[in-house]
Amino acid sequence: MRLVLKLALVAVVVGAASGCSSDEGGADAGERPRVVVTTNIVGDMVTAVLGDQADVEVVMPLGASPHDFAPSARQANAMAEADLLVVNGAGFEEGMLDIIETAEGAGTPVFAFADQVALIEDDPHIWTDPSRMVEAVRAFGERALAIDGVDATAIGQQTDEYVAALEALDGEVEEILAAVPADQRVLVTNHEVFAYFAERYGFEVVGAVIPSLSTSADASAAGVDALADLIREQGVPAIFAETTQSSQLADALAEAVGGDDPVEVVELFTESLGEPGSGAETYLGLLRTDAERIASALA
């Protein structure tokens, strides 16, 4: 069955762009379970829960756009051969959906973080609300106990510690954002990525350059012009771009707004962790850094 699955997965990825793994060498030569995670944001949470109880491989490298990233054949095989495949889910990994479905259909256990929380209109960007991540991480901690060879006590302790860190982060983000007045709590983003954040912290998303949950969609000239008018009318001071996408569209929107007081384009870490020194090397750091940048731009 494994050989058949490998051949099927090679067929799935033929013609796809090759990607880079965070660990091209594969799992260590020990007996620890192999857990493969699609995105580096979810991978950071999974690593925090599992600690040294498993070898964790993250498929997407830093800075990759999850909406269009395509794994290599080697990475696809690693996903199929995993003792557990962990995904964000809700259709987020657009370039991997066939591979995930093929692996799951052949018997690879799959755990989806998005299946553990209440979704807003099928929006996959659940990590922008750390309170939802508390639910997802607790559920993953329970699932991790079923992985052969792990120490249940260690998994339980690490899950509790990370949940506590998430709860503390939620409070910290709320304190950071307290500097933003109620009438300034408006977000214009590169694409529709902050619905959960907005709901959690009392913001309104008034528009997106790409009016879609996916960056694979296109912006229209008419849409950009309408959004520029809205920004002028509401006096929105900033447009939030993303590290995984070019800021070209956001820059064009800011230019279209014009005026004596230029709209600032602020880069956020939305769909990937950051490089060392960025402040977004971990999920906790990512959300804290984004909150600080949002508060600085809008306060």
For the stretch 213-270, pLDDT in tens is 887 667 788 889 999 999 999 999 999 999 999 899 999 999 999 888 889 999 999 9
pLDDT given at position 49: 99
- Rg (C-alpha) for the chain, rounded Å, is 20
β-bridge partners, 267: 241
CA distance 59 to 82: 12
pLDDT higher than 60, residue 95: yes
CA distance 101 to 273: 25
2-173: CATH homologous superfamily?
Answer: Nitrogenase molybdenum iron protein domain (3.40.50.1980)
Q: Are 240 and 60 in contact (CB under 8 A)?
A: no
Least confident window among 14-18, 120-124, 125-129: 14-18
For the chain, the structural domain boundaries read: 2-173, 178-298
pLDDT bucket at 121, cuts 50 / 70 / 90: very high
> Hey, do 2-173 and 178-298 end up sharing a CATH topology, with the first three levels equal?
yes
pLDDT higher than 60, residue 7: no
pLDDT higher than 80, residue 177: yes
pLDDT bucket at 155, cuts 50 / 70 / 90: very high
The more confident residue out of 13 and 127 is 127
pLDDT given at position 11: 42
pLDDT given at position 222: 86
pLDDT given at position 98: 97
Correct CATH for 178-298 of 3.40.800.10, 1.25.40.20, 3.40.50.300, 3.40.50.1980: 3.40.50.1980
pLDDT given at position 30: 61
Digit-coded pLDDT (tens) for 125-147: 999 999 999 999 999 999 999 99
pLDDT higher than 90, residue 164: yes
The mean pLDDT of the chain is 90
Q: Are 93 and 100 in contact (CB under 8 A)?
A: yes
pLDDT given at position 217: 63
